[in-house]
Structure 1
């Protein structure tokens, strides 16, 4: 049962998005109590359903990562009747989400300007690869190509090594999170203005905004940032070290932390070594220092060294695999693994929320990702007032 004590309870979202960025945005809105209707093509659905292997109960695993707390309606918007029903849904919604290429929603008669004439309170969010306009706006994009064009691959990887993609489709997720925040802001402004608005974001804009200090190194100093692997451009020692039985990261760039690290390693001589006395010295002589530290740290077992460094208050961690993450006592304490149940495919894990609230339990009422078209009948009835005969006629004609 859905919680009635969440900030977005009563907000209706017509979700026309697919793949990852848009569905992830919708999922976050659903976490906060919004009613999400996921509009999918009959017999096909969101392409994430068929992306794999691996699969679980007929869906690609990534589908489960971005589609909890939604109801699925199958609707063929290639038909005139399907377009008309889609428009009806938009006019009943508080929020419309879409991530087609620019121009697609306009051809369907579902563009913001058209809808806002009849639903001026509508918040309409568009996500794309390169942005709503401009010379590259019509180009298709995947997270891989965006990581390349937006600069992240050029600053990710080992020193002197090949460009490396980040380990997940990071900018799909960041774009979805940016859009989620923007929708919340627009809904808040609507309480004052009484009107909705259009929101635009893209993978490219999300990535460039995420460059942060790397971008400013170029914009202020005119200097291209280097690839540093796990190292830090301005702090040394600060990287992943091979241990006797695994890997450990240590962040001991500041002088007090460096001194504690040296004591743990029983290399107090390094504290007064003129090459390493100040942070600037350690940055300038990083290769010499790392050659020494690499040889020392590899002699230690990971857990034993982590315990000693923790006692000395030196920031460090085992480099965990997924088993290590989800067995970590702090991760478990913060309930970052949740379980959802679906009548058809049973129990499915989902990730816990990144943010907790004192006024409500954000996980209360969470539902499992839906089967394709699972809620077509009930959404058409609840949102649009269609009776069973009308729904049956639409099904017979292939519209749903």
Structure 2
């Protein structure tokens, strides 16, 4: 964390000169820890900001014990925490010091994703978005102090009070494609047919891919062709992808609807059939099985009746991610998909999980900007890794325990 140029906002005026001198005399090896300590000290001055939320809930009462001797001070009363109710979650107020790893993230990297969400702000965010857009923070400390001044952390729990959940990963595939069937490029990617909205549910994947009459009707809606049917399925599961044409041009296919059939994981199908063991159904393992069993691939794909249709988009800026459900571009490593009934789009979230390959802690600020049919429940997220081979490797193996805190404007 760069602390040499930290410019604390006005709310940090209660940081004493002695605290700043302490930070300056930290060695380079301990500067991050000192900065974190300074930030946590600053939050004590901010803890009184904001009115209490609508619902307040006391902490569970301690177990009954014998009275303490008169000479021993009585234990302090159980702490009362504010609680906000959502449709599928409850948010329990916490102090900034209770967020694991807070102060260690490169918080200034959140700002581009935050401003993207501010283009379509959640209710109650307009004033804060205007403040965030006035000037980007000079460094990570300034970004953290801004968030601490204006936002209140709430731990996300299920309605039953469970705070541990699951995080998976997704990415934007990059595939070679052709505009017309050519050589091995025979697997079509479709735009939505005109009768999609009138027929619910629409035809299954098996019917779309095997019924000759239906295939002929859908042919006029074929946007492009890829080599591998499994790659087409991956594109449908991820919801968008980049296609490279023979002339070197890239285009993006974005989600445009599905057939309203239930989604079935082909990894789970392989486990149920005894082809893979539980815990081994990663995308690399599924692709390896398909390579060894090409004659059975169609049967496997048809076990998932869900079929996704796309729309074509230009790709003027390759540095921008696909648009999520909020309608703003996703940012690699700073955007997540959530259950909208638990967390509104445009909400900053603090994650406490681990990376899938290294198992190192992954504690960082992200923005809730997308959703997915499999992303349901309170403590549930899908982490956007970006595009390219590394993003594919990380996303394909991510299935980690998760705790999360939403950061919501103070009243």
Establish whether TM, by shorter chain, passes 0.5: no
TM, length-normalised to structure 1:
0.22
Q: Structure 1 or 2: larger strand share? A: 2
TM, length-normalised to structure 2:
0.22
Q: Which gives a bigger RCO, structure 1 or 2 (Cα 8 Å, sep 6+)?
A: 2
